[in-house]
Each structure stands twice: as structure tokens, then as C-alpha cells.
Amino acid sequence: MSQPDLERKLAAILYADVAGYSRLMGEDEDGTHRILSAYLDTFVASIEGHGGRAVHFAGDAVLADFSSVTSALTCAIAVQRDLAQRNQNLADDRKVQFRIGINLGDVIVDRDDIYGDGVNVAARLEGLSEVGGICISGTVFDQVEGRVDCGFAYMGAQKVKNIRKPVLAYGVLLDPAEKGKVIGAPSARPAWTIPAAAVFVAAAVGAAVWFGLARPPGEAPMVAEAPLAMPDRPSIAVLPFANESGDAAQDYFADGLTDDLIIDLSKVSGLFVIARNSVFAYKGKPVTVQEVAKRLGVKYVLEGSVRKAGGQVRINAKLIDAMSGQQLWADRYDGTLKDIFMLQDDVVGKIVSALSVELTEDDMKSKMAAVKETASPDAYDFLLRGLQYRSRFKWKDALEARELFAKALEQDPNYARAAIALGNHYYEAWRIWGEPRDENLNMAIEHATKAATIDPGSPLPHVLLAQAYFFLGRYGESEGEARKALALNPSDADALASLADFMRLSGRPEEAVDLFKRAMRLDPLFPAWQLAWLGHAYFMTGAYDEAIQTLKRGVRRDAGYIAFHLFLAASHAASGNLEEAKREAAEVLKNNPEFTLEAYTGFIGHKNPADLERDLAAMRKAGLPD
């Protein structure tokens, strides 16, 4: 007897989930449940009020369908705006916030429930959404553009789990002032095709995103992996300065001040300064300076606050010997935004004096040659806002950052940091987000060259030039720029990690290993992805045991990152352990069934063909497909 055909329909599917639900329940199970129940009642009322149907609930998740995509999106916007108002006066750790995904697709209807890829895509879009935000598919965008009270930010073609084809995605801009705005039109973005083996890294495809080899920084661990030896010179961590402006929107300014102090202190050769990534792991966390010092392996901690109101700035800072708990120095600085760099210089000078650090001749030359950042408070403000957007690791935020960096340069065409920030955007637009290669790398070179001309003492333009020249095949120029960067500031963790990556791809893995280790000591809570590239560098040297141990450390940090499993497969295969190699290869294909060595060739960018062949031979031996 033949089975009856399954009922199908075309529907607008809304999938919502609570961000950080497990954490909230762990902290206050009863309180979270009560708040969530009230929010879900509001959600259901909005769904029904917009002509939809709440299909089912699964703990903190909601699935609903609508006959109209416009109604589905209007409902989602109303819910998110309402919840934003309810959360306004709650502490961050008590806010219940949803992510929402919406898709238009064909679904199976069975016993009042719905199934199929149409539902799965909506759930994956929810995972791509910002907290308190909405992410929609391209099919939804095509139907609602210009019809709803919001704007949109194109996120590109997203490869999502268990869905064969990439899904075009858009973030929804909820501010009514952005109604009708569309950031990053898809016509400006490349087709998502897999690069052929004969095509060098020049392929106009975001292979890093496609295959999951690019990774956002993620949340840093609160504790380093192992106890850290104390450096042989005065060591200091600058905790994120507190924003005391009474306006959370001013956080970017306090963060920017912290960044500037870290950068300035790291230029003093007699100091060991912990990198930004590690100290910002403690932002807003209830930790003591003694805990921070122990976890980061330093003796001294600088902490403080900043209040910005109108054109006035007040900075409070104090330096603490974390070993004894003694306060070595404290001061308050009042001035205008125009004075901000002078105030920063004063703080750095007081710290150097308090720690009895003698400035070397090179330090003095560097200080004498230091270029004044900018005389424009507006340019500085645009830069700091842009850096905050860039740090969110989303395409739509990257586009916002680009606009802000450009505005900073409009205010001050000789602002070196704004020029290098804009140059970095163009490099990442290709390397991470899949924009056309040559156009973006040439723009990166243009802005980096400008920044190097304005501020010859900064290593950052030379790091970017080394990267851009490398991927254009200009290897001699690339190495020269890399050496300049390292000579200008051997204590910049980000520069060291970038140069380590350069050395890895240039066929000098031993140097890469050393540079990665130096970067990781300066940044003890380093992003997990650095372990992938360190593990690969070990693999390239033939130190397979070290490679495997390093990559396993990475898996413990981020088991879903494909690069760990990819290089583990290669390392096990090269060392003769085929059983483990095939197990890791299976993990690669589980995370991305469309992974091929052909596309890996288009992404990796080895300078030396022999290095690429070593990779491919081991990965092929592990069972990964060509």
C-alpha cells in the first residue's frame, strides 16, 4: 500500500532562541524562568497579533510560521524593540535577550508541526544573528525590502551546517532612523564559487569564511593554560578603564583610551606589557588586581576610569604592585578632548618613572620621532568608534567601521592610525569576507604606505604591507616590510602573531614557532585560532608530536574550529597513525561536507610549492577528498 503524500506548504518561518540561556539558568533558575515565561507570553501575543502561529516551544526556543514574510519580520521587529525597552534598566547579566532568524521556504506539515530545510535554515540564521537582533535570508529580503520599518546589512553567502548551498543572509537594522538603508549591496560581492587548484590565493572567494578557516576572536578564557614564568623586566597589565560617563554608549572611548595606553607602554623596551586581547577578557568582571596579575604573569597592574562629557575628559589612574598590594602611584587628570594625547603621555611617563625604568637611546629617539596622533578630537572619536565596530567580526559592522575610518581621515588627512585602520579593513575585506582580491589588497597597500610615510616609527603599516605584498606574490618586498615591523616594536603581540603567520607561509616555520610563542606570552589569553597556525608550523618542521599536542590544546578551546581537525589529520597521517588521521578527517567533513583539498589550495597561500605538497600529501593520506 503506497504512502500518502506528505502535506507541504510555503511559509515564512521564524525561529527564536534566548542568548546565554544556560548561563542565566545556572545563576538564577527561578528568576530566569519567571522572566522568560513573561517574555514568551509577549512573544506569542505578537505572533498571533501579526497573523502567525506559534508552532512549538523547546525550552528557550520558539518556532512560528506566517503566511506573510512581511508579517513575520514586522512581528520580530516589534518583539525585539519591546524587549530592548524592558531590558533597559536591567544589569547585563540579568537581561533575557533573543536572537531571531527568519526564512521563506517550503516546509513539511505533520501533526500541526513543521519540518524540513525551510525550518533548518531559519534556525541557522538565528545562530548568525546578533544578540537582540534579527537575521533574515535573501528570500525574505527580496520580499520585504522597502516594506518594513527597518534597514538591512548584507552579510554575504553563509555556509551553514547541514545545508548544502550557502544561504544569503541579511542583518536587520532596528533603529527606525535607518529605515530603507541597505549596507553592502550584494551586487558588490563576489560569487561564492570554489577556487580551482590552478588559481593562487587570488581567487575572488571568501575561502576563509566558506571553509570555516577564518574565526572571530571569541571570548578569551579567564585563566592562562599554564602558570606563567615572570618576565625578566618590569611587567604590567593595563586593565580596561571603567566608563564613568553615565552613558554606556561611551564605552568605546574608555576602551580606546586603554588601547592607547597599552600601545604607548609597549613601545618602551624596558617594559613587558600584556596585550589588549588578554586584559579585555576581564572587562566588567569582578576580579582583583592580584588575580589578574597571577593569571597573566605580571607584577604590576594599572587600573583607572575615564569620564567624558561634552568636550571635557577626566582620567583617574593608579598603579599597583600586585605582589605586595601597595599602590605605587595615583593621579587624576582633567582636560579637554584636545588634550587627550598629552594626558596619555603624562600617564605613561609617570608609570615609567614609578617603575624606575630607564629609557634607552632607541626609546628616546622613538619618543622624539613620535608623530602626534591628530589635532582633531572628531577624527580621534571616529577612529575609536570604528575600532569598536571592527572588533565585532561581522560584515555589516566592518562596513560601518570603514565609513568611520574614512570620516576620521576626512577630518585629518594626516592621521596615520586612521589610515592604517582603513588599510586593515580592505585587507580583511578580501582575506576574511571574500571581497575581490586585487582591488582590496591594492587599497590596503595605498593606505598602509600613507600611514608609514606619516608615522615612520609605527610597526603597524609594515605588518599590513608585508601581508598584502605576500598575497600579491611580491615576496622580497613582503619580507623587507616584515623585518621593519619587527625591528620597530618587538613587543607588539598582534604584530608578532601576524609576522609568525607570514613566516609560516613563507616556508620558515622554525621562525614562525618562535614568534608565535613570543606573541602568546605577551597575550596569555590569546585567541584559540593561533594554536591552529602554531600547530601547522610544527607540522611543517616535522615535529609531529608537538603539532598534535598543540592542536589538541586548540580543540579543548574550540572543538568546532575546522582548522584544528584539518591539521590534526595531517599530523597524524604524517606520523603514521592512520586511524587517528581518518578520525580527524571525518571531523573536518562533519563540520563541512563540501571541504576539498582543491579549495584548501586556493586558501592556504604557501610561497613554496613543496610546502603545499607536504600539506596535501598528508591530508590526502588521511582520507580528505581532492
**H helices within 391-474, ranges in order?**
395-411, 416-431, 437-454, 460-471
Give pLDDT, residue 215: 55
pTM of model > 0.85: no
- Per-residue pLDDT of 213-271, as tens digits, reads 555 555 556 566 667 888 888 889 999 999 888 777 788 888 888 888 888 888 788 88
Instruction: Find residue 302's DSSP bridge partners.
Output: 238, 319
- Cα distance between residue 553 and residue 373, in whole Å: 40
Say if residues 73 and 102 touch (Cβ distance below 8 Å). Answer: yes
Residue 120 scores a pLDDT above 50 = yes
Least confident of 5-9, 28-32, 193-197, 254-258: 193-197
Give pLDDT, residue 553: 92
C-alpha grid cell, residue 550: 598543540
Say if residues 25 and 75 touch (Cβ distance below 8 Å). Answer: no
Give pLDDT, residue 136: 95
Q: Which residues contact 148 (CB under 8 A, 6 or more apart)?
A: 70, 73, 74, 77
Q: Kindly provide the b/e burial profile for residues 11-20, where b requires at least 16 CB atoms within 10 angstroms of the residue's own CB.
A: bbbbbbbbbb
Output the DSSP codes for 253-275. Answer: HHHHHHHHHHHHHHT-TT-EE--
Alpha carbon 502 to its chain's center: 20
First to last CA, the chain: 44
Give pLDDT, residue 188: 34
Highest mean pLDDT among 12-16, 209-213, 391-395, 486-490: 12-16
- Per-residue pLDDT of 394-431, as tens digits, reads 788 888 999 999 999 999 999 999 999 999 999 988 87
Beta strand extents in 222-360 (DSSP E only): 235-238, 242-243, 272-273, 300-309, 312-321, 326-336
Instruction: Find residue 313's DSSP bridge partners.
Output: 308, 335
Give pLDDT, residue 545: 95
- Per-residue pLDDT of 291-329, as tens digits, reads 889 989 999 998 989 898 877 888 888 899 998 888 888
Please tell me which residue, 499 or 536, carries the higher pLDDT value: 536
Q: Which of 267, 270, 269, 275 is nearest to 238 (CA)?
A: 275
Please tell me which residue, 603 or 531, carries the higher pLDDT value: 531
Residue 587 scores a pLDDT above 60 = yes
Highest mean pLDDT among 144-148, 355-359, 563-567: 563-567
| SS3 assignment, position 623 | coil
- With cut-offs at 50, 70 and 90, classify the pLDDT of residue 196: very low
Q: Which of 158, 152, 135 is nearest to 76 (CA)?
A: 135
Q: Which residues contact 233 (CB under 8 A, 6 or more apart)?
A: 270, 271, 272, 357
- With cut-offs at 50, 70 and 90, classify the pLDDT of residue 205: very low
Give pLDDT, residue 551: 95
Give pLDDT, residue 623: 95
Which domains are present in the chain? 7-193 (3.30.70.1230), 235-369 (3.40.50.10610), 528-626 (1.25.40.10)
Give pLDDT, residue 442: 93
C-alpha grid cell, residue 18: 534566548
- Cα distance between residue 325 and residue 318, in whole Å: 12
Q: Which residues contact 335 (CB under 8 A, 6 or more apart)?
A: 312, 313, 342, 343
For a pLDDT cut of 70, what percent of the chain falls above it?
86
Least confident of 212-221, 274-283, 300-309, 588-597: 212-221
